[in-house]
Amino acid sequence: MTTESSSPRYIRLQIELIAEIVDEKALQTAALAQVEGDEYLEDEERAEAIEAINLDPSGAVAHFIDPVAMLENIPGVELAEAGWETQPVDYDAETEDWEPFEAGSEE
């Protein structure tokens, strides 16, 4: 069923991932290279990014997240806004209660 409306419809897409860093040095090196090669970063932003990468590997992972790439091949959809964060977590696959969808959260 398709309906056309005079105004755009927005959806919030929430994704939760847990990634294991298996080679911190390789991650840091790749993230630093990406930041150094990013022609769109201003000097102050570049300095902040380098500091974040050197401070914590989760800061390095953030530089590889590309919400535009996630949506670019979906017909009829344009990215309106994106925000994401990375943070270290305590995770044990054996004891973790992994339920990505809460009951009643689907609309």
Residue-by-residue DSSP string for 81-95:
------------TTT
Question: What distance in Å separates the CA atoms of residue 14 and residue 17, rounded to the nearest whole number?
Answer: 10
Say how many C-beta atoms besides its own lie within 10 A of residue 47's C-beta: 12
Q: What is the pTM of this model?
A: 0.69
The most confident of 6-10, 74-78, 83-87, 103-107, by mean pLDDT = 74-78
Total residues belonging to the chain: 107
Looking at residue 86, its pLDDT comes to 87
Q: Are 62 and 85 in contact (CB under 8 A)?
A: yes
Looking at residue 73, its pLDDT comes to 92
Give the model confidence (pLDDT) of 15-65 as tens digits. 888 899 999 999 999 999 999 999 999 999 999 999 999 998 888 998 888
Give the model confidence (pLDDT) of 60-97 as tens digits. 998 888 888 999 999 999 999 998 888 888 888 777 66
Which token pair is 43?
């000097």
Q: What is the DSSP letter of 98?
A: -
Looking at residue 44, its pLDDT comes to 96
Say how many C-beta atoms besides its own lie within 10 A of residue 48's C-beta: 14
pLDDT band at 7 (very low <50, low <70, confident <90, very high): confident
Question: What distance in Å separates the CA atoms of residue 20 and residue 99, rounded to the nearest whole number?
Answer: 18
Q: Collapsing DSSP states into helix, strand and coil, what is residue 48? A: helix
